[in-house]
């Protein structure tokens, strides 16, 4: 099983600043990596797929980069609505399955 490890567990950033979240895979997943955002009491929504492609309707301040085992989600200028939990997910071995990272909580500093 491919294990996805996210860091840090919690990130405190001020509105308007840049946030950088990391995700590491236990083996190469190429660019088969997605990022999701989850707000309290809501289902996750996909932000990025293919490591760097924004999903429909996602603002340009969200960007993804990386390949192989190291990935980054960058939010260029944090808005109040961006404070949430972010998960990475690999899908390189679909089928048969996927694995998610444990999440990074982005909180207001």
Partner 1 sequence: QLQLQESGPGLVKPSETLSLTCAVSGDSVSSSSYYWGWIRQPPGKGLEWIASVYYSGRTYYNPSLESRVSISVDTSKNQFSLKLSSVAAADTAVYFCAVFPAVGTPVFDSWGLGTQVTVSS
Q: Where on the chain is the footprint of partner 1 (CB under 8 A)?
A: 1, 34, 36, 42-46, 49-50, 55, 87, 89, 91, 94-103
Q: Which is nearer to partner 1, 8 or 97 (CB)?
A: 97
DSSP structural state of residue 76: S
CB of 19 to partner 1, least distance (A): 19
CB of 24 to partner 1, least distance (A): 15
H/E run at residue 94: none
CB of 10 to partner 1, least distance (A): 13
Buried b (16+ CB within 10 A) or exposed e, 37-67: beeeeeebeebbbebbebeeebeeebbbebe
CB of 87 to partner 1, least distance (A): 6
3-state SS assignment for residue 26: coil
Closest by CA to 87, choosing from 28, 1, 2, 9, is 9
Cα 14 from chain centre: 19
Q: Which is nearer to partner 1, 14 or 94 (CB)?
A: 94
Q: Which is nearer to partner 1, 15 or 59 (CB)?
A: 59
Q: Which is nearer to partner 1, 49 or 71 (CB)?
A: 49
């Amino acid at each position: 099983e491919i294990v996805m490890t996210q860091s840090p567990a919690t990130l405190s950033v001020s509105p308007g600043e840049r946030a950088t979240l990391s995700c590491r895979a236990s083996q190469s997943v190429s660019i088969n990596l997605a990022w999701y955002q989850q707000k309290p009491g809501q289902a996750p929504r996909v932000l990025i797929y293919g490591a760097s492609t924004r999903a429909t309707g996602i603002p340009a301040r969200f960007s993804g980069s990386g390949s192989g085992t190291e990935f980054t989600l960058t939010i260029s200028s944090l808005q109040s609505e961006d404070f949430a939990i972010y998960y990475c997910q690999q899908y390189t071995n679909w089928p048969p399955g996927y694995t998610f990272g444990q999440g990074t909580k982005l909180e207001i500093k």
